[in-house]
Amino acid sequence: MPVALGRRMAAGIPGAKYIEYPTGDHAFWTGDTETVVGDIEEFVTGHRDAGAADLERILATVMFTDIVDSTRQAAEVGDQRWRSRLDQHDALARQLIERHRGNLVKTTGDGVLATFDGPGRAIRCALSFSNAARQIGLPVRAGLHTGEIEMRGGDIGGIAVHAAARVMSQSGPDEVLVSRVVTDLVAGAGLRFSERGSYELKGLPGKWDLFAAAG
C-alpha cells in the first residue's frame, strides 16, 4: 500500500493512530520487529510490556560474600587502615573470581556479588577466597545458589540472587554454605559437603536444606 494512501485512510478514521516504520516495508517480520510487535500488543491489549525487550534471564550460580564483624574491625583499626584492608579484599576477590572464570557483578562495601556459569567453579572460588581472606586477617562467609537471574544492565536481580544472600546469612566465619540445588548439580565433582540442617529463609517459601562445602 502506498504511504500516501495509508495516511489518507488513517485520517478518515476517527481516533485512528497512524504509525510508519523506516524499514521493513510490508514484511513485518523483518526490520525492527520488537517495535512492531510492541505496537501490535498495545493495539490489541491496550498496553505494552515496556520491560520485556530489555529483560534477559540466564541460568547462573550466584555467590554472595561478606566480611564477618566488619563494623567491629573497622572501629578497632580506624578508617585509613580499614580502607587499606578493604582494597586488599577487593583486589583478592577480583583476582580469584577471574581465575575461576566468574563475573564480579559488584562489591558491596564489605563483600562481593559474583556469578558463575558453573557451580563447581563457584564453590572452588568461594573456598579459595575464604582461605586467602583469612590469611590477611579478614574472615569471610559465603552463600551460593543456582537459578535463573535477571540481567539488568551491569547488575542482576531475581529470586536466585535473594536466595544466595539468604544462604550467606546463615553462614559462619570462614564457611561456604550452598543450597541443595548446588550440591545436586556438582555430584561426582570431587567436592565434599556437610549437612547444616533446614532453614526458613526470609522472604522465600518452604524450608531450605543447606550444606557447608569443603574442597
Query: What number of CA atoms fall less than 13 Å from residue 160's CA on the CB side?
Result: 24
In a domain, 50, yes or no: no
In a domain, 69, yes or no: yes
Of 57, 68, 132, which Cα lies nearest the Cα of 100?
132
Say if residue 26's pLDDT is above 90. no
What mean pLDDT comes out for the span 23-49? Answer: 62
Say if residue 28's pLDDT is above 60. no
Q: How confident is the model at residue 180 (pLDDT cuts 50, 70, 90)?
A: very high
Q: Are residues 174 and 197 in the same domain?
A: yes
The domain that holds 192 is classified in CATH as 3.30.70.1230
Q: How confident is the model at residue 53 (pLDDT cuts 50, 70, 90)?
A: very low
Tens of pLDDT along 84-119? Answer: 999 999 999 999 999 999 999 999 989 999 999 999
Backbone angles phi, psi at 54, to 5 degrees: -90, -5
Domain that holds residue 202: 56-214
Q: Are residues 110 and 17 in the same domain?
A: no
Q: How many angstroms separate the first and last alpha carbons of the chain?
A: 68
- What pLDDT does 112 receive? 97
Number of folded domains in the chain? 2
In a domain, 204, yes or no: yes
Tens of pLDDT along 122-179? Answer: 999 999 999 999 999 999 999 999 999 999 888 999 999 999 999 999 999 999 999 9
Tens of pLDDT along 183-193? Answer: 999 999 999 99
Distance of CA 167 to CAs 2, 66, 71, 197, Å?
61, 12, 21, 12
Say if residue 35's pLDDT is above 80. no
Distance of CA 3 to CAs 10, 76, 94, Å?
11, 74, 56
Percent of the chain with pLDDT strictly greater than 90? 70
Q: Are residues 77 and 165 in the same domain?
A: yes
Query: What number of CA atoms fall less than 13 Å from residue 51's CA on the CB side?
Result: 7
Across the chain, mean pLDDT equals: 87
- What pLDDT does 23 receive? 55
Copy the grid coordinates of residue 151: 540481567
> Cα(74)–Cα(28) distance, rounded to whole angstroms?
60
Q: Are residues 196 and 131 in the same domain?
A: yes
What mean pLDDT comes out for the span 39-43? Answer: 71
Say if residue 52's pLDDT is above 80. no
Q: Are residues 104 and 33 in the same domain?
A: no
Q: Are residues 76 and 38 in the same domain?
A: no
Q: Are residues 104 and 153 in the same domain?
A: yes
DSSP state of 104: E
- The mean-pLDDT minimum among 42-51, 65-74, 75-84, 89-98 falls in 42-51
Give the type of residue at 208: W
- What pLDDT does 29 receive? 53
